[in-house]
Structure 1
């Protein structure tokens, strides 16, 4: 028989609650009068999709719900199994319903690992009621679950556990003599408990795994204490120093191809747009530490320089391009400094989306009017034949004018007079706007003088 100190099952698995009253966290779902309590009271479960980060309780909730309605519960991993196994489960579910009148709840862990055509295997059986599907996913169901299946499931959003909830789970594990570490009679310093809870980054499973590791270190330290440990720390006490020694570099929740990627790049982009350098460097740091490709971040900042700054600060684009080149030359970690420098520059630069808005107006007119011909007077005429057809006729050479301005139309006649670029009053664009305004006034006066030569002063 295994002692509590050397269990076969990991601590996180042993401490998994079996009743809703013992479940910690997700108060918006499991609190008194909340949705899951109401489901259990009703005795009927709809098909559900549990969407949340690792260690937030998706598998535990599914197990508790299944047992609360006395249904057959089948655990199914989308990583380890395929459509063939689904067919076998369907046959067993049909037999159980006919012989024992017992419904079957199929829990599909990491359901997003099934592609959308594979997900179709569940659809007719969920629709007929033969299977109640509970899917668990860390990815946004809007993108990862096919629409027909998504429409037949209730989506429940689970949040990362807060430090206080994780502390409660860790304290329970320390005192539970059967499932937990209570037989070891361990004590833990308050600050050490806080460190463990915060290092878990919202992942309850990670917190329990780390506690199990620290507990093993504490037992080993009791057997072979150093002279310093024998005077500064009490036996079988989990100290701050012990936790610090056991904790490796924190692994942040980040998936370079998943929703967290899009959440963080959105936060970075909006911090830059809102001129918040502190928010910008924080989200940039989160993505770099999470393992994002630094050159991807550099490319996004190049795009930002044109989209959200444009000519309000023409230097911004050059800064962003130089940032990419600097990182390409230096690599990590030295080159990351250029990314931070560029982010701060972009965040503190004057903002304008006039160039971005201009492109939309241009595209809209092109889509609406098609391939309008170039006006003849601004066509090049390298051959005699082209000149005979009127190419370049009447063209005015701007450099021959005292102001460098000419009164001629450059748009197709169907679009004559349209304005696409509308500069703002911010940054260098204010200079551009003032310049364009003066040019338009000069040209307007020339047009007036041309139409009314007798009134020319």
Structure 2
């Protein structure tokens, strides 16, 4: 939707009046210097600075910018700041509701404005990953001919969700999740700023800590929760927002969990041990605590990948690929949807048959190596590809397994120091029972039995 003079006046009035619009809207930065976080994108000479400078006669910025980052990191905010600073005609579309028809109408309007009045158009397209290939194709002529300056926002990996022609013509800027210090500064600003709560309420320390936890790096979520809590407190005649009042307002209990303290490791340990113990319900409880505490989903996914090999291993060889796929999905989608993916993985791992044979195998092998049980590689296994290797006897007598029945050659592979050692002790659980039979037969064949 394209704002006119009346819309702009209404927006300014809402920013001046505390009850006129949501707190997150009222606290929206007006300049790039007011933006919280994203310092790596806002330095002197950065593309965003150039976009702002272009309207004031500065150097021309890129014709298309794609902002990629988690929710609440300021993608929409940056687009508004650039549009206000450059005085361009601003048009906003959402890929959720707009289609090719709306995109073409905006482009045609932009061409008319440029030709008739010399007025440039900035098109902000939110959720561009929801556009189909054909819909994204419709943007290419406008980007190539600079009929519009496109700022597109996405929460999904653009290399998977945006077509290559548009991606190659755009400058990709990655936004990072806001830190707790970023969110804390934003909350303090909202409490004191006349556009925000204007000092009407004081925030208790434990309530602030809870806001930081439930925000999960999302500025919009933090301000929305603060507004709900402050409104509830003021309605009851209270000028101090306590933890209890905040919890009641946002209907979300404070999770006793310190991401940097002992409980961080205690809860993570309990999650893995519950999976190891096959208690799927306990595992889901600890997963929920980590999610609600704002734990980094990538940390959880890494722990699950370790568990897949450490506690399941060959009892279910598909556990590790599943955990890796979950980690990749989490990296691509982020919270809140990533919680579903993590739940999927936790359930699968908790209910999988268990084996620690992979752990004991590498532990025993490593222990022998550290004892000095190594020794030279048998001559017939040494590299025989370089000139002169034959004179040294390298490769001599080597039997090529694929030329033999069963593709197993009864020859010595381990050095003398550990020849005959058994490191892999398979269990009889799950798929590993089959591998136990296989390894027994293979070892007999290797021994020439």
1:13 aligns with 2:13: no
Match of 1:452 in 2: none
Deviations 1:81-137 (A, max 9, x none): 211111211111111111222221111011111111111110111112112211111
Deviations 1:258-285 (A, max 9, x none): xxxxxxxxxxxxx99xx9x9xxx69982
- CA shift at 1:435, angstroms? 5.3
Deviations 1:378-421 (A, max 9, x none): xxxxxxxxxxxxxxxxxxxxxxxxxxxxxxxxx9x97856359x
Give distance in 1, aligned partners of 2:67 and 2:313.
40
Deviations 1:288-329 (A, max 9, x none): 969xxxxxx9xx99xx6899822xx58999xx9xxxxxxxxx
Relative to 1, partners in 2 of residues 1:340 and 1:283: Cα closer, same or farther, differing over 3 Å?
farther
1:285 aligns with 2:274: no
1:135 aligns with 2:152: yes
Match of 1:220 in 2: 235
Match of 1:245 in 2: 248
Matched residue of 2:156: which SS?
A: coil
Deviations 1:137-181 (A, max 9, x none): 11111111111111111111112211111111111111112x211
Matched residue of 1:92: which SS?
A: helix
Give distance in 2, aligned partners of 1:65 and 1:415.
71
Give distance in 2, aligned partners of 1:239 and 1:347.
48
Relative to 1, partners in 2 of residues 1:37 and 1:250: Cα closer, same or farther, differing over 3 Å?
farther
Give the alignment's TM-score, normalised by structure 1: 0.59
Alpha-carbon contact 2:51-2:86 (below 8 Å) kept: no
1:158 aligns with 2:175: yes
Match of 1:309 in 2: 313
Give distance in 2, aligned partners of 1:180 and 1:73.
25
Match of 1:200 in 2: 215
Match of 1:51 in 2: 68
Matches of residues 375-394 of structure 1 in structure 2 within 5 Å?
none
Relative to 1, partners in 2 of residues 1:307 and 1:172: Cα closer, same or farther, differing over 3 Å?
closer
Give distance in 1, aligned partners of 2:312 and 2:219.
40
Alpha-carbon contact 2:247-2:254 (below 8 Å) kept: no
Which protein shows a greater Rg?
1
- CA shift at 1:195, angstroms? 1.6
Relative to 1, partners in 2 of residues 1:288 and 1:104: Cα closer, same or farther, differing over 3 Å?
same
Give distance in 2, aligned partners of 1:126 and 1:170.
37
Give distance in 1, aligned partners of 2:15 and 2:21.
12
Match of 1:24 in 2: 36
- CA shift at 1:3, angstroms? 11
Matched residue of 2:448: which SS?
A: helix
- CA shift at 1:340, angstroms? 8.7
Give distance in 1, aligned partners of 2:23 and 2:142.
36
Report the RMSD for the aligned CA atoms in angstroms: 4.7
Aligned length, in residue pairs: 321
- CA shift at 1:57, angstroms? 0.2
Relative to 1, partners in 2 of residues 1:243 and 1:251: Cα closer, same or farther, differing over 3 Å?
closer
Give distance in 2, aligned partners of 1:438 and 1:130.
74
Alpha-carbon contact 2:312-2:352 (below 8 Å) kept: no
Contiguous gaps of at least 5 residues in structure 1: 223-234, 253-270, 291-296, 321-334, 354-410, 444-457
Matches of residues 43-442 of structure 1 in structure 2 within 5 Å?
43-46=59-62, 47-177=64-194, 179-182=195-198, 185-222=200-237, 235-249=238-252, 285=287, 309-310=313-314, 339=347, 342=350, 346=354, 348=356, 350=358, 416=405, 418-419=407-408, 425-428=423-426, 433=439, 436-442=442-448
- CA shift at 1:250, angstroms? 7.7
Give distance in 1, aligned partners of 2:18 and 2:109.
37
Alpha-carbon contact 1:305-1:316 (below 8 Å) kept: no
Matched residue of 2:77: which SS?
A: helix
Contiguous gaps of at least 5 residues in structure 2: 1-12, 256-271, 293-300, 323-342, 362-400, 414-420, 427-434
Give distance in 1, aligned partners of 2:289 and 2:100.
36
Alpha-carbon contact 2:232-2:245 (below 8 Å) kept: yes
Give the alignment's TM-score, normalised by structure 2: 0.60
Relative to 1, partners in 2 of residues 1:135 and 1:2: Cα closer, same or farther, differing over 3 Å?
closer
